[in-house]
A = this chain, B = another copy of it.
Amino acid sequence: MELAYTRDDEEFRTRLRSWLAAVLPTLPPRPDPLDWPARRAYDMGWQRRLYDAGYAGLHWPQAAGGRGATPVQHLIFLEETEAAGAPYVGAGFVGLLHAGPTIAAEGGPAQRARWLPPILRGEEVWCQGFSEPEAGSDLASLRTRAVRSGDSYVVTGTKIWTSHAEVADWCELLVRTDPEAPRHRGLTWLALPMDAPGVTVRPLRTLAGSQEFAEVFLDEVRVPVGNRVGAENDGWRVTMVTLSFERGTAFAGEVVACRRTLRQLARRAQRDGRWEDPALRRRLGRLNAEFTALWRLVQWNVSEAAHALRHGGSGVPGAGGSVFKLRYSHARQELYETAAAVLGPGSLDLAEEWTRERLSSLSYTIAAGTSQIQHNIVAERVLGLPRGR
């Protein structure tokens, strides 16, 4: 049980903090959230600065062009960038956190050379084409078909919940290549160029009113066979390898942000006279305990991941992440419910960021595996309870 950081890690933190202090004031103003091209430019500009300063692909293996940093350094990076108010990974998310690592782990040399450097340098944006209208919790039931035709696959289907589709260069796509095979078999991983004929992107409006996501319609889109990563019909394994390439750092930055948000909420309650309500105060106090614990849980998971990596593993299994995600999703929703209690009638005002975030927080028990599915995962994979039928 050592929470103090090593001298190396502290030096890493100090260098990073100095660099952030120097670079953040030089950034251009944040773009309007509805201006996709401006957002892409902003996010890629930030990625380029990270690249130039040696922070790009921090947690990627060095063989893939990354820095091979430990999970602890990755955590420090997330903590410090969040605390300093640095830009989020934004449009670089899928490339840096999923498609890139997938290609690094499963791609051939040419594929790695083609796709990885532009991700690290902030030159190409990736999006993710996994979910479908009929395949949400049950990803293995996806229906988008890919039929081999000469040197190409011809792909037809619909993908949903795709972020940054409007400005992406590439889409990591999971398609069904063998409709006869059992559900998890017969899937294949393809890199789809978003400018291919037959690709249509339609913004998808959420209940929060935002258009963070899109639907991607694929109408006989030709994808070269050379864009396939892994073997044909082996896409499920290829994808899952990377989905569990998770080192306890998921949502780490968000927890740091939530703790700051909670302090702001307390001050808001004080300003509005709501601090006089002991029930509300105690609710805020309990949230303080909750997010204190969540931060420690992140550190615990990172420590476990670091240990596993040192011993040849790939990081925490996804199931450990499920425990964290279940608790964090609930805590985040409770944070914004408490904010609504502080605001009272003001909680109906979309001009309040609290209100918009309350709406967004509703997705946390649904997206990336509903809380129901996460409970199943924990029960069966961590606790070893017999499989449900």
Contact = CB atoms under 8 A, between A and B. Distances in A.
**A interface, by DSSP: helix, strand, loop or mixed?**
helix
Nearest to A276: B278
A30 interface: no
Contacts of A279: 278-279, 282
A32 interface: no
How many subunits of this chain does the assembly comprise? 2
Interface string A262-282: 000000000000000111001
A278 B282 CA distance: 11
Contacts of A278: 277-279
Q: How many A residues touch the partner, as a band?
A: under 10
A7 interface: no
Contacts of A282: 279
A389 B388 CA distance: 8
Nearest to A277: B278
A123 B150 CA distance: 91
A282 B279 CA distance: 9
A199 B28 CA distance: 87
A366 to B, nearest CB: 20
Interface in A262-307: 277-279, 282
Interface of A: 277-279, 282, 389
6 contacts: A277-B278, A278-B278, A278-B279, A279-B279, A279-B282, A389-B389
Query: What are the nearest 6 A-B pairs in CB distance?
Result: A279-B279, A389-B389, A278-B278, A278-B279, A279-B282, A277-B278
